[in-house]
Amino acid sequence: MKRSMMTAAAAAILGLSMATSAFGQQSNAAAYEKLVTEHAAANVNVKFILKAEGQEQESEIPGVMIEKTGLVLASTMGLGEMDSRFGGVAISPTQIKVLIGEDTQGIDAKMIARDSDLALGWFQIEKADEKGYAFLDFAQGAPAVGGDTLMVVSQMGKFFHRANVVTEGKVACVTSKPRRLLIPSISLVTADFGVPVFDAQSRPVGLFTAVLPDKDEYQSSPRVLNEIQQSVPGFKMIVPADEIVAATKRAKETAASNPPAAPEAPADEKPGETPGSPAAPK
């Protein structure tokens, strides 16, 4: 009798465990599908040429469309941000193109603003889309606290036709200094800089980037980078959604107050001359 009761109890516990596991799998599957369906289309890639020491190199970094007019946000960690923070020359990308979906050619764009403190850059597509581009609205974001579930949807490489990949983790810590940041659990370290981060309800909570010390702070304490990496593997930090909104507003104001520079004159022309005009008097 006792054995049969124990067997029945064990079966009940096992059944409950299996039901809970199945429910968790179904819940995750639904959450993953919702995330990909609602937000994956806003993920883009920014392709550009970097010129350094007389050499040119083609590169790509992930980004996210944040306005239907074609405004793209990306992390500048892929633009030599680490070097420029510590005495190097900030490298400006040229021949910028935004790749949407499986597009390999890209749409012409220009970099309109850069925030070195947050390692963020804003790119504007030059060709408008009649229906508007799919975008992610950080103004509809949600706050997150320690222990909250985080999800990231990113893209695999060209070989896998940029298939969408969902990675799940947690908020390991929320910092207040040097500024408010969400520190992700180590399971999210594989995510790229410039990729948006969501909560379990598919609401945006921030974007992966890196907040680094400035040159003076680094020179006064060279060990600071080691200390950061020991606490934050891969320097992967999440700037909260409301900070993204505020930074974007500043970036657009900066871009509006700085009109684009005039195109460079060809090498065979002298300053002050226009094509076909007589040479300036000596």
CATH number of the domain encompassing residue 205: 2.40.10.10
Average model confidence (pLDDT) across the chain: 82
Query: What average pLDDT does this structure show over 194-199?
Result: 96
Query: What average pLDDT does this structure show over 104-133?
Result: 94
Residue 70 inside a domain? The answer is: no
Residue 178 inside a domain? The answer is: yes
CB 72 within 8 A of CB 136: no
pLDDT band at 86 (very low <50, low <70, confident <90, very high): low
Q: How many domains does the chain have?
A: 1
**CA atoms of 170 and 185, how far apart (whole Å):** 5
**CA atoms of 268 and 282, how far apart (whole Å):** 17
CB 95 within 8 A of CB 49: yes
CB 64 within 8 A of CB 44: yes
CB 240 within 8 A of CB 205: yes
pLDDT digits (tens, 9 = 90+) for 238-255: 999 999 999 999 999 999
Residue 53 inside a domain? The answer is: no
**CA atoms of 81 and 85, how far apart (whole Å):** 6
Residue 60 inside a domain? The answer is: no
Residue 201 belongs to what domain range? 138-243
**CA atoms of 239 and 248, how far apart (whole Å):** 12
Residue 167 inside a domain? The answer is: yes
Q: Regarding predicted confidence, which is higher, 277 or 162? A: 162
Query: What average pLDDT does this structure show over 144-164?
Result: 87
Query: What average pLDDT does this structure show over 189-207?
Result: 95
Q: What is the pLDDT of residue 240?
A: 98
Q: How wide is the angle at C-alpha 14 spanned by C-alphas 11 and 15, nearest 5°?
A: 85
Q: What is the pLDDT of residue 90?
A: 65
Q: Regarding predicted confidence, which is higher, 155 or 251? A: 251
Residue 271 has pLDDT above 50, yes or no: no
Residue 115 inside a domain? The answer is: no
Q: What is the pLDDT of residue 261?
A: 53
Residue 73 has pLDDT above 80, yes or no: yes
Residue 106 inside a domain? The answer is: no
Phi/psi region, residue 101 (left: phi>0; alpha: psi -120 to 50; beta: rest), is left
Residue 3 inside a domain? The answer is: no
Lowest mean pLDDT among 61-70, 160-169, 180-189, 195-204: 160-169
